[in-house]
Structure 1
Amino acid sequence: MTDIHALAGAYVLDAVDDVERAAFTRHLDHCESCALELAELRETVARLADPTWSVPPPTLRAAVLAEIRRTPQERPGRAGRAEPPRAGAWRRRL
C-alpha cells in the first residue's frame, strides 16, 4: 500500500480511488500535519485556478534581460570547480 501521507496532493486533485479516499479521510482526523498540508494545497489549487490573474507588464521582459546583461555569468561547466593544474605545474613540484 502507498504511504498514506503521500496521498495529500492526489486527494486535493480528486485523483484517488474510493478506497484511498476513505483511508485518507479517516487519516485526516488524526494527522495534523496532513490536515495542514491539505489546507495549503487547496489554497494553491484555488490560486492556480483563479481566472483573474494578470498579464505581466510589457516592460518586465526587457527589465529582466537588462539585469541579466549586467550580472556576471559563469561559463557552463566551470561553476564551483577549481582550475585544473597546468601540465608543467606538477613537474615543477617534483
Structure 2
Amino acid sequence: MKGFTRWADMRGPIIERIGEEEFEAGKEELQARARGHRLAEIRRRQGMTQAQLAELMGVTKSRVSQIERGQASTHEVLARYVAALGGQLHLVADFGEEQLKVG
C-alpha cells in the first residue's frame, strides 16, 4: 500500500535509536495500559463503580484506578481484581506443544 509504512520496516530503526531494552519496556507499558483499559471496560459492563470494586477487593478506589491505568499489574493484584468481578485468572506456562497451568 502506498502511504503506509510497515511495522517490519520501522522496528529496526526504532530499536537502533532507543535500544532493545527501552523498546521492550515501552511495549510492556503499552500492554499493561491496554490490559487495564479492558479490565475497566469489563467492570463498567458489569455496572460496577471503582468504589464498589475497591470495597470488594479490600483496597482503595485509588488502587483500582492504578490497576485500570496499568500501573499495578502483578499476578496477585490482577487475580484479586478479576475475582472481585466474578472471574478467574489463569496462569499458563506455554512450551509450544505442551501447556502447564501453574496458577
Say which one has the larger Rg. 1
- Bigger share in strand: 2
Q: TM-score, normalised by structure 2?
A: 0.27
Higher-RCO chain (CA-CA 8 Å, sequence separation at least 6): 1
